[in-house]
Amino acid sequence: MNNQINPLQSFQVVAVHRVTGRPQFAKVTAPSQVDADDFVADMQPDWIVIRDNFDLPMVDAIFQA
Protein backbone atom coordinates (compact mmCIF):
# COMPACT_ATOMS: atom_id res chain seq x y z
CA MET A 1 0.00 0.00 0.00
CA ASN A 2 1.36 3.39 -0.99
CA ASN A 3 0.19 6.21 1.26
CA GLN A 4 2.42 8.89 -0.20
CA ILE A 5 0.95 12.40 -0.20
CA ASN A 6 1.95 14.62 -3.10
CA PRO A 7 2.99 18.13 -2.07
CA LEU A 8 0.75 20.95 -3.24
CA GLN A 9 2.09 23.40 -5.78
CA SER A 10 0.69 26.48 -7.45
CA PHE A 11 -0.40 26.07 -11.09
CA GLN A 12 -1.79 28.56 -13.58
CA VAL A 13 -4.92 27.54 -15.43
CA VAL A 14 -5.82 29.30 -18.67
CA ALA A 15 -9.35 29.23 -20.03
CA VAL A 16 -11.67 31.03 -22.43
CA HIS A 17 -15.06 32.29 -21.25
CA ARG A 18 -17.73 30.31 -23.08
CA VAL A 19 -19.97 33.34 -23.77
CA THR A 20 -17.63 36.32 -24.14
CA GLY A 21 -14.58 34.53 -25.58
CA ARG A 22 -12.32 36.48 -23.21
CA PRO A 23 -9.27 34.76 -21.75
CA GLN A 24 -9.54 33.76 -18.10
CA PHE A 25 -6.64 33.04 -15.75
CA ALA A 26 -6.61 31.32 -12.37
CA LYS A 27 -3.82 30.39 -9.97
CA VAL A 28 -4.75 27.10 -8.26
CA THR A 29 -2.98 25.14 -5.55
CA ALA A 30 -3.12 21.44 -6.43
CA PRO A 31 -0.99 18.27 -6.56
CA SER A 32 -0.61 18.51 -10.37
CA GLN A 33 -1.48 20.64 -13.40
CA VAL A 34 -4.08 18.08 -14.44
CA ASP A 35 -5.78 18.32 -11.03
CA ALA A 36 -5.75 22.13 -11.22
CA ASP A 37 -7.27 22.05 -14.73
CA ASP A 38 -9.93 19.55 -13.63
CA PHE A 39 -10.80 21.62 -10.54
CA VAL A 40 -11.33 24.80 -12.57
CA ALA A 41 -13.29 22.94 -15.26
CA ASP A 42 -15.61 21.51 -12.59
CA MET A 43 -16.02 24.75 -10.61
CA GLN A 44 -16.40 27.13 -13.59
CA PRO A 45 -18.66 25.47 -16.16
CA ASP A 46 -18.74 28.67 -18.25
CA TRP A 47 -14.95 28.44 -18.76
CA ILE A 48 -13.36 26.30 -21.46
CA VAL A 49 -10.04 25.19 -19.97
CA ILE A 50 -7.09 25.23 -22.36
CA ARG A 51 -5.05 22.12 -21.67
CA ASP A 52 -1.59 21.09 -22.81
CA ASN A 53 -1.81 18.61 -25.67
CA PHE A 54 0.87 16.27 -24.29
CA ASP A 55 -1.69 13.45 -24.29
CA LEU A 56 -2.59 13.99 -27.97
CA PRO A 57 0.36 12.59 -29.96
CA MET A 58 -1.62 12.59 -33.22
CA VAL A 59 -2.05 16.37 -33.09
CA ASP A 60 1.73 16.81 -32.84
CA ALA A 61 2.26 14.36 -35.70
CA ILE A 62 -0.14 16.27 -37.96
CA PHE A 63 1.59 19.62 -37.40
CA GLN A 64 5.09 18.17 -37.83
CA ALA A 65 4.28 16.68 -41.25
Over the stretch 6-59, which tens digit does the pLDDT of each residue have? 789 999 999 999 999 999 999 999 999 999 999 999 999 999 999 876 555 554
Exposed e or buried b for every residue in 22-52, given b needs 16+ CB within 10 A?
A: eebebebebeebebbbbbbeeebeebebebe
Check if the beta carbon of residue 40 is closer than 8 Å to that of residue 47: yes
Return the biggest CA–CA distance within the chain.
47
pTM, two decimals, is 0.70
Q: How far, in Å, are 16, 57, 62 from residue 40 at the CA level?
A: 12, 24, 29
What pLDDT band is residue 60 in, cutting at 50, 70 and 90? very low
Note the pLDDT of residue 5: 72
- pLDDT score for 51: 85
